Structure 1
Amino acid sequence: MTPPAHLQAALSELLGDARLVAEPLPGTDLKLWLIDADNMDRAFNPDETRRILEDPPYWSFCWASGLALARFLAEHPEWVEGKRVLDFGAGSGVAGIAAVMAGALEVVACDLDPIAIEACQANAQLNGVTLSYSTDFFAEEDRFDLILVADVLYDRANLPLLDQFLSRGKQALVADSRVRDFQHPAYQRLGILDALTLPDLAEPWEFRKVSLYHAVR
């Protein structure tokens, strides 16, 4: 299967010999275009390291929290069935695609990065589903039943966003493995889910434990 040309070109600019491959996600019926695992199992030269740090191709990974949230929606479709959903910081689009497959009425994949939007489009096509797209969360109307959020709190500077999600949706589901025990009066932890990042980055065990939070206004 040939990867999308523009996404492959964007990845090649960062890592010349890296390739996108269509990989099934364990425990789901989904596939994503992901960076090939063999390419991650090597040392990066200084130029590659600099480019990755300056412009990380996060859309070419399925991060643990996204995988955990996708599995959760497959097991509990009642969270999204017949509802209007926005996937915030969509990245690869894994959570939004899972929501469509679980019966959501509408899913908007929202990400600031235009390359991430292209990744969402390619992955939606790979899975035979339809998404809508947005690059500005705050330009969206307050019309969503649920806001999905996965792998956004890796930077603690993003914690104030927790106050904003309910400005556009009636409820929010937040999956995170980096700031797992945040305290916020609107959010309650539903549980801890097991997952890993793909390709496997050999992350510490604590980053394979994903906390799932729920907020309702």
Structure 2
Amino acid sequence: MMLEQAVLQYTLKKLIDKGFTPMNVPNIVNPECLIGTGYFPGGEEDAYWMERDNQRLIGTSEIPLTAYHMDEILTEAELPKKYCAYSTCFRREAGTYGKDTAGLYRVHQFNKVEQVVILPEDEKMSNEYHKQILQNAMDVLDDLKIPYQILQLCTGDLAIGKYNSQDLECWMPSRKAYGETHSVTSFLDFQARRLNLKYRDSEGKIKYCYTMNNTAIATPRILISIIENNQQADGTIKIPEVLAPYM
């Protein structure tokens, strides 16, 4: 527990120091939030459903963070908005029966620190911030001294509405392979149009915002890499130096 909380708190503080506004988000959302962020239709089987109230448990804090300004018209001067959140996430993992279900790799409940950025309609700015939030996640892995690689998703692998996306995969010795631990995605105005999220530019014109998000860290999956890459010959685990103050 202490190691898990240490890596989550370290990552959250790192984002706050970079100008992100931390937010507490609900774990329960209305279907409109999932439709707006592009998870519905199509992802219903992967979300836990509270039938009586027709509400869902979140699979990522991206959902409430991005939907926070739903049906609003922001001003260009307010943008970009940079939010981060630490939340518990829930996924049914439908269709993955028997695949990576033992141990810490694939679980139904996990904790995650997420980054969300809301921008004006500017593709160049969007590309720059996409690189920044990817770099934020890479900085954490560099600090933890975990070997990783970046996987560029091809068009055929992009889910609905995604404009650009990469996965970060960390080395997991027990698997003798890299395992996906992070993803970063830009949507341009796809989510904003579904959420009715707009802004008024300097000339008074109303336009749709651009959105993007990134997994800054997720546990317990990242613990596989932290523990296995830091296990000593006598079986003890060497705590990464940057996490020591949080233990």
TM-score, shorter chain, exceeding 0.5: no
* Structure holding more strand per residue: 2
TM-score of the superposition, structure 2-length normalised?
0.26
TM-score of the superposition, structure 1-length normalised?
0.28
